[in-house]
Amino acid sequence: MGGAVATGRRILLLWMVGAGAPAGAADIPEPGPPLVMPGMAVYQVAERISFNGVPMHISGFTAPLSAEEVLAFYRRQWGGAEERQIVEKKVGQLHVLGGEHSGRYRSLQVWDQPQGSEGVLTVSAAGDAMNPSRATELPLMPGTEILSTIASEDGDRRAESLFAVNASPLGVNARWLDGQFTVAGWVLVEDRQVEEPGARVLLFRRDREWCEVRLLREGAVRQGRTTLLYNRVEE
């Protein structure tokens, strides 16, 4: 099951960043659990998780039915007259279904397995008028634009991922981050180049916290800009 959970999380992150999940303020109430299809075996991905400050409920599942049969069930359940819009698409073997209903955004991701199917169910608050909250305690160089944040709590384990860009060169970013993390009590334990051209990884530690910052050189992703991917874990 561990590999399945990891796969589900990877797909979930790609869907949220790529499809533009609804954004909102930090005081939005918890959205509640998703509708569970009869016969599903469901497990919670994390006790608490948020995307750009919006609380989300995320469950992984396995089902004895095929992905198409699971899709058919949720099409029927989510296809009522009150549904604002249902979006459905397929990426390789991954089927995605999502829509807004009664102030909540719900999505299903499902793929076939040898003995049924597996997937992820997500529920979050919805609303076009909400302003995204991307607050973070991570050091950000002046001029940095935060594109998305994901935070989760699972018992004593807390995690935060942040995706950002700025116009400063990679080397300038690395030196600035080293200085700011050091002032905040972190220790640089690793600074390495990686196989991807122009990429650099900084790894910091502070007590029970680890933070990896992956930097991509200007032009590698967004021309003239440096991309930063932060991943912080506290255990």
Range of the domain at 45: 2-125
CA–CA separation, 131 and 211 (whole Å): 27
Domain membership of residue 165 (yes or no) is yes
Q: Which amino acid is at 115?
A: Q
As for how many domains the chain has, the answer is 2
Q: Which of 91, 125, 159 is the last residue of a domain?
A: 125
The predicted structure's pLDDT at residue 106: 85
Q: Which long-range contacts (CB under 8 A, 24 or more apart) does 41-47 make?
A: 42/121, 43/1, 43/5, 45/5, 45/8, 45/9, 45/12, 45/120, 45/152, 46/152, 46/153, 46/154, 47/152, 47/153, 47/154, 47/155
The predicted structure's pLDDT at residue 65: 95
State pLDDT tens for residues 172-193. Answer: 999 999 999 999 999 999 999 8
The predicted structure's pLDDT at residue 217: 73
Beta-carbon count within 10 A of 168 CB: 17
Beta-carbon count within 10 A of 145 CB: 12
State pLDDT tens for residues 111-143. Answer: 999 999 998 888 877 654 344 456 678 899 998
User: Do 15 and 119 fall within a single domain?
Assistant: yes
Domain membership of residue 132 (yes or no) is no
Domain membership of residue 136 (yes or no) is no
Beta bridge partners of 203: 190, 212
Domain membership of residue 131 (yes or no) is no
User: Do 161 and 92 fall within a single domain?
Assistant: no
Domain membership of residue 171 (yes or no) is yes
Q: What is the CATH number of the domain that holds 17?
A: 3.30.530
Beta-carbon count within 10 A of 92 CB: 6
CA–CA separation, 123 and 54 (whole Å): 10
Q: Among 70-74, 107-111, 124-128, which range has the highest average pLDDT?
A: 70-74
Considering only CA atoms, which of 174, 73, 74, 79 is closest in space to residue 122?
A: 74
Write the CA distances from 176 to 180, 184, 207, 230, integer angstroms. 6, 12, 21, 15
pLDDT-wise least confident of 8-22, 41-55, 145-159: 8-22
Q: What is the CATH number of the domain that holds 223?
A: 3.40.1000.10
CA–CA separation, 204 and 191 (whole Å): 9
User: Do 151 and 194 fall within a single domain?
Assistant: yes
Token output for 119: 């997937």
